[in-house]
Chains A and B, each alone.
Chain A
Amino acid sequence: DIQMTQSPSSVSASVGDRVTITCRASQGISSWLAWYQQKPGKAPKLLIYAASSLQSGVPSRFSGSGSGTDFTLTISSLQPEDFATYYCQQANSFPLTFGQGTRLEIK
């Protein structure tokens, strides 16, 4: 299985801050990487697919980059509704696997 490791596990930030979350794959996955946002009691929401493509309807303050084994999700200017848990997911090979999550909290 491909292991996905996110860092940090949690981060505190303020509205307006720029935040970057990292995801590392245990082996190369090309650009087959997606990012999700999950709020308490809700299903995950797709933000980014193919490492850097913005899902329709997702604000442009979200961006993704990377290929191979190292990927980042950046939120350029945090908004109150962005405080949530973020997951990366590799879509390269079976079984599909997710990172352990990064909890983004209000400072």
Chain B
Amino acid sequence: QVQLQESGPGLVKPSQTLSLTCTVSGGSISSGSYYWSWIRQPAGKGLEWIGRIYTSGSTNYNPSLKSRVTISVDTSKNQFSLKLSSVTAADTAVYYCARADGVAADFDYWGQGTLVTVSS
């Protein structure tokens, strides 16, 4: 059973960089044809896809965030990571990592989510 777990600071100051890591267990991040995504959800609001990475390192980003986002993968640690720069209060949200299987871009496994608050 694949499990995903987000980790990282719960509080980030405005203008700084938000950094989160997703650790995958129950299977190798490199096996199969999986894409690994970050998705966020402000309190009481809907879901926003941030971007994704394949284990080859190829990425796709949401254009609305592309200038501030970097997603990377560390296959040796079975992890992938998110960096979001120049954060503001609008970036306060629960951040989820999730897996999509192959060509289909729907998400079959999710982490439990981690709340990141941007505040001084």
Contacts and interface: CB of A to CB of B under 8 A. Distances in A.
Interface of A: 1, 32, 34, 36, 42-46, 49-50, 55, 87, 89, 91, 94-101
A46 B47 contact: no
B46 A99 contact: yes
Contact of A46 (B46, B48, B96, B107): B107
Given A55-B108, A96-B105, 18 more contacts: A34-B106, A34-B107, A43-B96, A43-B98, A43-B110, A43-B112, A46-B107, A49-B104, A49-B108, A87-B46, A89-B47, A91-B104, A91-B105, A91-B106, A94-B60, A94-B62, A95-B61, A98-B46
Nearest to A44: B110
B106 A95 contact: no
B96 A89 contact: no
B34 interface: no
A2 to B, nearest CB: 12
B96 A32 contact: no
Contacts of A34: 106-107
B64 A89 contact: no
A95 B48 CA distance: 9
Interface residues of B, number: 22
Contacts of B96: 43-44
A95 B104 contact: no
Contacts of A50: 104, 106
A95 B46 contact: no
Contact of A95 (B62, B98, B108, B112): B62
B111 A43 contact: yes
A71 B65 CA distance: 28
Contact of B107 (A44, A94, A100): A44
Contacts of A87: 46-47
Contacts of A98: 46-49
Contacts of B100: 91
B47 A44 contact: yes
A46 B108 contact: yes
Contacts of B64: 95
B26 interface: no
